[in-house]
Amino acid sequence: MTNQTARVLELLKRFNDGKKVCIEALGNEVLWEGKSEKTIRRDLDVIKLIFPESFELIRGDKGCYKAITKKAFENFLTPETISMMAQVYNVAQKSNLFANIDLSDSDKRLLESQLKKSKDCYMFIDKPYENKKSDYQLFKEMENAIHHQQHLMVKYSVNDKTEVMDVKPYKILFINQNFYLVCEVVDSQYELTQLRVSNIAEVQMVPKQFHKNYEIEDFIKEIQTPFSTYRSGYKKHMINVTVEVKKEKARFFKAKNSLPSQRIVEQKADGDLILSFRVTQELEIEELIKKWLPHVKVLEPLSLKEKIENELREYLLLEQ
């Protein structure tokens, strides 16, 4: 374990115990002996980077900090957080994203030990992550282009067809267990598209800047599925979908929103639920509805209801 790792873990323990941490006092302790105030602040910055809301400066007590609340700090390690940390670590390992991070072997063993402890109690079953050994450099190139608002030349391959496109990159999106590059494609019919990173063979930053479209930035924050589609003035083109969920399955929709836009419109006396969703196109919600048939019925729009009914009829005819 490196000296900094030991110091950071000690700070975490003190915050978790509800103790006050003062920079001047730490300078007199063995762990920080001979360390400058700048070094001690760097130790605190490591915690702040991972847990931004974990501690705060105590007013009127110069250079002293406390956990925002001891209970909040203890409650940070929820099953959801453990799952997220485990998944992020696995992605980073598989995609070689730790390549230029200064983690010693002992630090890596410490991380792996903590993840192993969580696996003794939890098991997360999910789709496998897509990854390539070249991912690290690919992600760094995309990050640089996004940060500096520079065009990217992207070599993209799908179904044995490869094309090179000039794009304006906005965000790297992780959704449905896959990474996507959300970008405008220059000279394309698509105003915005999501390129699956696993299909990107290579990227090259072009010394040509672009100005971001603020409406597109707002749209990206509202993306719900890989099938979300953008067009100018997207909010006025959103589609309202209303469904009825039978009481036998209502509890699942109450416990967790199937899409971020899900809203409960009505809970009927018999236990059935009326839900509403806002989507950019009907395709966004088709998979969800089919998954819950026959316990979910589309009320509106009529076009979506008829489309699903027609597909079911075609399927039944094929089975005869």
- pLDDT one-digit tens code per residue, 226-272: 999 999 999 999 999 999 999 999 999 999 999 999 999 999 999 99
Residue-level pLDDT at 129: 55
Residue-level pLDDT at 126: 63
Q: Is the per-residue pLDDT at 288 higher than 70?
A: yes
Q: Is the per-residue pLDDT at 73 higher than 60?
A: no
Residue-level pLDDT at 51: 77
CA distances from 191 to 123, 148, 215, 308 (A): 40, 21, 12, 28
Mean per-residue pLDDT over the chain, rounded? 84
Q: Is the per-residue pLDDT at 320 higher than 90?
A: no
Q: Is the per-residue pLDDT at 295 higher than 50?
A: yes
Pairwise CA distance, residues 35 & 26, whole Å: 9
Least confident of 34-48, 119-133, 157-171: 119-133
Percent of the chain with pLDDT over 90: 50
Residue-level pLDDT at 214: 92
Residue-level pLDDT at 19: 87
